[in-house]
Amino acid sequence: MFFILAVAVPLLTAQRMTTEIAYSDFQKLVAARQVADLEVTPTRITGMLDMPGAASLLPASDAAAVNSNGEPWRFTTVRVADGHLADTLAAAGIRYSGGVDSAWPGVLLSWAVPLLAMFFVWNLLWQRTGGLQQYTKMGRGNGHILVQNETGITFDDIAGIDEAKAELRQIVAFLRDAERYRRLGGKIPKGVLIVGAPGTGKTLLAKAVAGEAGVPFYSVSGAGFVEMFVGVGAARVRDLFEQAQAEAPCIIFIDELDALGKVRGAGLTSGNDEREQTLNQLLIEMDGFSSSSGVIIMAATNRPETLDPALLRPGRFDRHIAIDRPDLNGRRQILAVHTRHVKLADDVDLNELASRMPGFVGADLANVVNEAALHAAEADKQAVDMSDFDEAIDRAMTGMERKSRVINAQEKITIAYHEAGHALVANSRKHCDPVKKVSIIPRGVAALGYTQQVPTEDRYVLRESELLDRLDALLGGRVAEELVFGDVSTGAENDLDRATAMVRHMVTRYGMSGRMGLATIGESMSQPVVAGFDGWRGASCSDDTARLVDEEIRRMLDEAHARVKATLSSQRATLERIARLLLEREVLDHEMLQHAIDGASKTFEQREQIEAKPAEADVDAGQDEASCSG
């Protein structure tokens, strides 16, 4: 910028102080001897005007442009071919000199100025991206150090994963008193790999270890190492371990390790891949430092099957800790942790809430507690009660209630019979989970209704008879539409997807097909996926076997359809009662559903009338029954 000003200011100043005059006026000035110090070039004549005498000889426009305070003023004119110019100047006694035309102003304007403008723009962008400082820090580790008072998390803040906490207490004890283990020749594991589904608390557990031990905590992301510049990731790994060695004892935590540690050799250009170079450097660094140095490496991933085997061998990640989805007792403990600072009403039962959320992980449970608190605050309640938790659970499972979605009468009837079919079949099957709630209120993006089943206990192994009962419950809605209307709708799409997937696993994975035998069809999901040149892993069975699999899937679905149709046909009156009650109430809890199934077809208001006027109520009930059946 300074250079631009240094060049431009003199040029502009010179342009402003120079007056262009006609050659004829120049001849008059020479005759009057009002010019001096001329420079004569082949094309131009430049000199000084002797003011104020020269002003009287110039036209009014030129005279107004020159200075009239008596000081000399610079002028220029285009030279005309005049063979007597030198003699005229000599006779007038005017001092002059020769010169050569210079091209540098034109060159400056045509080349230098655009280049300077480009330099100015580039410098502006350079400064916005961080400048040289950004590139000098590119190879440095980007881990953010968290010490104990920053994390504020201990094992008391974690519930539902007691086995994982017990495994990590040894790491905490080593960080607190390493000499206790060294004197007996013991070596603490170099690395700890935490494996679990998203939201199970992997990162929280690692922070709790640092909080318990009171040591620095380096938290980095696996994706943060890899950059567009080759070699940057490896440099960051080296710098991170250098910083950790200087701060030992400490913990290095690598979140989403699968972003960095995928199986090598899984692509066409994998040999020169920046990610693989970064992974190689990580392997070298983990081998390079001693287990007695006080640096513990912890990593978390939800895709352990994609990790390179070199990372998982002893000497690198020695200890693997699996965090499963919490069971009933674990969910209750997690809810107790998250509700410590929530004002709960007396009717809130954490055991019941935990039983209604099977498969929920810690993050899901925390979200339910927060949604319940928000719902209670919106209703201006003094405490969070069970109705708030009911709404939060429904929202977590099926999405937000869509009160604005307008459904016409025929569609509402179809949805009512569909959900009634699910509920009735699930209730009639011995191994199905009890139905907690049935609703025809739209929720989420695509759910027009839902039937909520709550298991009485956590199950990890299912028998074939239990799977078949669950299959029947999935097909209950579709068969109910077919039976009542003689036609089917598109509302059973998700049910059919889940039913087909269940049967396919029964045939190809669980050995529950007599024709297929004990063989499993398909590749094991526990093995890493290594793509070929076209990304295809190849067929896992012959065409005849694949055809047999399709036939078995179709046979099992057809048999389930026949069973469900027989059940609903024999209980058609019960199906009608449930659907009618759904159309009246829109939402049925377990008690209402049981009343409808047991034959109490009246609504609660009608039952109050029955108790007051039994005879009249029976007559009205018969008329209502007839109209609905029709």
Looking at the structure, do residues 57 and 110 belong to the same domain, yes or no?
A: no
- Contacts for 428 with CB less than 8 Å, ≥ 6 apart: 567, 571
- Checking if the pLDDT of 525 tops 60, the result is no
Q: Please tell me the predicted confidence (pLDDT) of residue 339.
A: 92
More confident call, 114 vs 231: 114
d(CA 271, CA 505): 37
53: how many CB neighbours lie within 10 A of its CB?
13
For residue 144, give the DSSP letter. Answer: E
Looking at the structure, do residues 230 and 297 belong to the same domain, yes or no?
A: yes
Looking at the structure, do residues 295 and 163 belong to the same domain, yes or no?
A: yes
Over residues 150-166, the pLDDT tens digits come to 667 888 888 888 888 88
**What average pLDDT does the structure give for the chain?**
77
Collapsing DSSP to helix, strand or coil, 603 comes out as coil
- Backbone Cα Rg of the chain: 43
Interval 236-259 mean pLDDT? 82
- Checking if the pLDDT of 44 tops 50, the result is yes
Interval 135-164 mean pLDDT? 64
The CATH number covering residue 42 comes to 3.30.720.210
Could you tell me the pTM of the whole model? Answer: 0.65
Question: 617 to each of 316, 600, 607, how far by Cα in Å?
Answer: 77, 13, 8
Number of folded domains in the chain? 5
The model's confidence at residue 446, banded by pLDDT at 50, 70 and 90, is low
- Checking if the pLDDT of 103 tops 60, the result is no
Looking at the structure, do residues 591 and 458 belong to the same domain, yes or no?
A: yes
Half-sphere exposure of 240 (CA within 13 A, CB side): 31
- Checking if the pLDDT of 70 tops 80, the result is no
Walk across the sheet containing 450-453 and list its strands: 450-453, 435-439, 587-589
Burial-class residue 285 by CB neighbours within 10 Å (0-12, 13-18, 19+). buried
Alpha-helix runs per DSSP H in 226-347 = 232-247, 274-288, 309-312, 328-338
The model's confidence at residue 602, banded by pLDDT at 50, 70 and 90, is very low
Classify the C-alpha dihedral 277-279-282-286 as positive or negative. negative
Looking at the structure, do residues 212 and 130 belong to the same domain, yes or no?
A: no
Six token digits for residue 267: 């692509």
- Checking if the pLDDT of 51 tops 70, the result is no
Q: Looking at 323, 341, 359, which one is the last position of a domain? A: 323
* Bridging pattern class, strands 35-40 and 44-49: antiparallel
CA 463 to chain centre: 37
Say if CB 295 and CB 240 are below 8 A apart.
Answer: no
Q: Please tell me the predicted confidence (pLDDT) of residue 67.
A: 54
Looking at the structure, do residues 226 and 311 belong to the same domain, yes or no?
A: yes
- Checking if the pLDDT of 519 tops 60, the result is yes
Q: Looking at 349, 375, 398, which one is the last position of a domain? A: 398
Looking at the structure, do residues 376 and 521 belong to the same domain, yes or no?
A: no
Which of the residue ranges 23-27, 79-83, 185-189, 589-593 has the most confident prediction, judged by mean pLDDT? 589-593
d(CA 222, CA 254): 6
* CB neighbour burial string for 341-376, b if at least 16 within 10 angstroms, e if fewer: eeebeeebebeebbbbbbebbbebbbbbbebbbebb
Interval 403-409 mean pLDDT? 73
| Domain encompassing residue 112 | 106-136
Six token digits for residue 409: 């009468």
d(CA 264, CA 309): 9
The CATH number covering residue 298 comes to 3.40.50.300
Over residues 543-582, the pLDDT tens digits come to 888 899 999 999 999 999 999 999 999 999 999 999 999 9
Q: Looking at 268, 291, 323, which one is the last position of a domain? A: 323
The CATH number covering residue 562 comes to 1.20.58.760
d(CA 428, CA 473): 9
Is residue 145 within a helix (H) or strand (E), and if so which, with residue range?
strand 144-146
Question: Does 178 reside within a domain?
Answer: yes
- Checking if the pLDDT of 611 tops 50, the result is no
Count of residues for the chain? Answer: 630
Looking at the structure, do residues 429 and 393 belong to the same domain, yes or no?
A: no
The model's confidence at residue 105, banded by pLDDT at 50, 70 and 90, is low
Cα 236–Cα 241–Cα 245 angle in degrees, nearest 5: 150
d(CA 178, CA 164): 21
The model's confidence at residue 415, banded by pLDDT at 50, 70 and 90, is very high
Looking at the structure, do residues 469 and 429 belong to the same domain, yes or no?
A: yes
d(CA 539, CA 237): 40
Q: Please tell me the predicted confidence (pLDDT) of residue 263.
A: 83
Over residues 109-128, the pLDDT tens digits come to 666 777 888 888 887 776 66
Question: Does 618 reside within a domain?
Answer: no
More confident call, 535 vs 451: 451
The secondary structure of 186-215 as a DSSP string is: ----SEEEEEE-TTSSHHHHHHHHHHHHT-
- Checking if the pLDDT of 423 tops 70, the result is yes
So which residues are the catalytic ones?
419
Question: Does 605 reside within a domain?
Answer: no
Percent of the chain residues past pLDDT 70, beyond the cut: 75
- Checking if the pLDDT of 469 tops 60, the result is yes
Question: 340 to each of 369, 370, 392, how far by Cα in Å?
Answer: 11, 12, 18
The CATH number covering residue 350 comes to 1.10.8.60
- Contacts for 169 with CB less than 8 Å, ≥ 6 apart: 155, 212
Over residues 337-388, the pLDDT tens digits come to 999 889 999 989 999 899 888 888 889 999 999 999 999 999 999 999 999 9
Interval 277-287 mean pLDDT? 82
* Bridging pattern class, strands 96-98 and 18-20: unpaired
